[in-house]
Amino acid sequence: MAVQGLTNDRRHQFGRQGSFGTAVAAKRAFLFSGVPNPDPGWTDREADMGSIDLVAAPLRGPGNLTAPLTSDGVAYNDLPALFSAIFGGNVSSTGAGDAQTYSWAPASATVDTVDVYTYEFGDDVTTDWMQLSDGILESLEFSGPSGLGPFTASMAWRFGHFGGSGLTDLPDSPAVPTTLDLELNPAIWYLKDTGIYIASDPDDLDSSQITDALHSCTLRIGGDVDQKRWANGDQSFDIDAYSRAKRTIELECVYSKTSDTVGTGSETDALYSDTPVTRYVQLKSESKELLETGPDVPYSVTLAMPMRYYTRVEGADGGNSTVTLMGRAFYDAVDFDGVFTAEVVCGIDSSTDL
């Protein structure tokens, strides 16, 4: 008899929901790694039971439905779901052809709509597929490695409801798994295709590229997310809403020591100024792979933010010194009109694929 439950048959499938509380069939399969952790929240009683062993049945609580996932090579077509799940805003793509463009400019002084996702996870045992819904990203990290390889991603997913294909009291609805094909040769987001631009004025970013300096970089997006549960008589511990109470966006870059990165008037000089110095930074990536020809439209992503520096760390790359600078984005209502922007050009149509 063949042993079922093959780890290489695991699948990660997501679909953006139209509304909170209503799971949907997944729209796309992702080349992710990791497993969900659907803790139902059983807790032993704190009571005198007349025994040194457990006697009374445990109590049920709200549980903890998370999924720490990773990607060893982020595809451009992965980015719409990831930015949607971390920023929300119900952003739709634009474009009449294969090239679809998304633009995020998350609000700081108001609250964006939270985008929630249904996640289907399982392997060859279809009677044990999980369905987690009302999901968001609590944190997201992209890392472009030394050597200029593919960007990797670390994701902290949070879900509000759990069900499955083999659960009597928590049945899947709609039924899982959804039959989807993996995109096995996607256009990958590489650091080799990426340039960094830093300026004192956001209007000067496109002409302010720092060259022969950037070794690697890490973008971290996180913060505090409140889980709201209301006593509505629905006999459920499900999360009813999320509130992003605080957001932190930071960029950490490893540079060679050049006149742009150390010395008078450099980025390091800005860190050690007596007063905080505002810098505007842009990461611009353009793939060699095309979505359309005549005119050519490549896969691309452009990220920008106002930033202030916080730390410096001395390091090395081979026999040469490096300097690692970390800065955090801030809400600039005057010159930038926001805290962060992301523009993604890819092949994902929000009406059918997200």
Q: Which two tokens stand for residue 337?
A: 């009109």
Q: 206 in helix, strand or coil?
A: helix
Residue 1: the pLDDT is 77
Please state whether 32 falls in left (phi above 0), alpha (psi between -120 and 50) or beta: beta
The amino acid occupying position 343 is E
How much is the mean pLDDT over the chain? Answer: 97
Instruction: Write down the H helix ranges in the chain.
Output: 79-87, 267-271
DSSP string spanning 176-190? Answer: S-----B-SSPPB-B
Residue 105: the pLDDT is 98
Residue 46: the pLDDT is 94
Please state whether 101 falls in left (phi above 0), alpha (psi between -120 and 50) or beta: beta
- Torsion (CA) 310, 313, 314, 315 in degrees, nearest 10: -130
- The gap between the terminal CA atoms of the chain, to the nearest Å, is 39
Residue 171: the pLDDT is 97
* Calpha distance 135→158 (Å, rounded): 5
Backbone phi, psi, residue 22, to 5°: -125, 105
Instruction: Look at the alpha carbons of 155, 158, 159, 162 in this order and tell me if their dihedral is positive or negative.
Output: positive
Q: Which parts of the chain register pLDDT below 50?
A: none
Residue 257: the pLDDT is 98
Residue 17: the pLDDT is 98
Q: Across 17-147, where does the E strand assignment appear?
A: 28-30, 37-39, 42-43, 59-60, 64-71, 100-104, 117-122, 130-144
User: In the chain, where are the structural domains located?
Assistant: 7-38+61-346
* Calpha distance 7→181 (Å, rounded): 18
